[in-house]
Amino acid sequence: MQSQKNYKRVVIKIGSSLFATQNSRLDMGLVNSIAGQICGLIKEGKEVVIVSSGAIALGMSILKLANRPKELAYLQAAAAIGQHELMHVYKSALKKYKLNCAQLLLTWDDFLGIRYANAKHTLDTLLKLKCVPIINENDTVATEEIKFGDNDRLSALVSILVGADLLIILSDVEGLLDKNKKVIRRVDKITGEIKSLACPTNKKTCVGGMATKIEAARIAVEGKVPCVIANGRKQRVIGQLANNPFCQGTIFLPK
């Protein structure tokens, strides 16, 4: 049974929508909860890689910007200001559990040739050292990412890069909803009908929405990595999914 499989190496994508409270302030309670759940997984013998959005959102908060900038230079500036704040948030939260973290900023070029092998060796070594890699798109140079996508697809590529047993994409949604607004628990094949269920996002701090999550799931399952989309605000969601990804959200299964 797949639900009884040992999902040892897990990639977790955390969306920027999870970082902000209703008044757009950083939700440190949730960040601390995520850190605690990661600690629990590592104590179980699992290896965890985080792909985290949030640099632009945190930069916007520091700059007191109400809406996501449309000009590329302002987006890059917000990312540059917010990235070190993002790492400070993770470092502070993980330190409480005596865990170290490391920053990796990647672009699509890093998934080609010798740079691919170098990134893989670095990540494998960090995991051996029981360090938590925190990966983000290098927003200050990766202009296509800022304009057209987000970290969903990056998380899928990372899951294949590290040979993950599972990709968990956390957002503020319960999963993929059908036309009756009920969560679809299992997707064995990503069809045109499945893709048609994605609705565009209207959030102020992020881009992409369900469409990029479905695309990420497609990339992951083609690389033989199961992918689950779930609500990151639910209690103990990471620990539950890492041991049984069928328990909630929507799981996309490899062929």
Q: What are the tens digits of pLDDT across the range 106-136?
A: 988 888 889 999 999 999 999 999 999 999 9
Residue 97: per-residue pLDDT: 96
Neighbour-count burial of 244, counting CB atoms closer than 10 A to its CB (0-12 exposed, 13-18 middle, 19+ buried): middle
Mean pLDDT for the stretch of residues 50-66: 89
If pLDDT is split at 50, 70 and 90, which confidence band does 248 have?
very high
Residues 170, 18 contacting (CB under 8 angstroms): yes
Residue 242, pLDDT > 50, answer: yes
CB 7 within 8 A of CB 41: no
Of residues 206 and 24, which shows the higher confidence score? 24
Query: Tokens representing 32?
Result: 């601390």
Q: What pLDDT, on the 0 to 100 scale, is given for residue 147?
A: 47
Q: What is the pLDDT of residue 205?
A: 47
Mean pLDDT in the chain? 89
**How many CA atoms, within 13 angstroms, populate the side-chain half-sphere of residue 127?**
20
Q: What does the pLDDT read at residue 148? A: 40
pLDDT score recorded for residue 194: 92
**Distance between CA atoms of residues 112 and 102, nearest Å:** 22
2-252: which CATH architecture?
Answer: 3-Layer(aba) Sandwich (3.40)
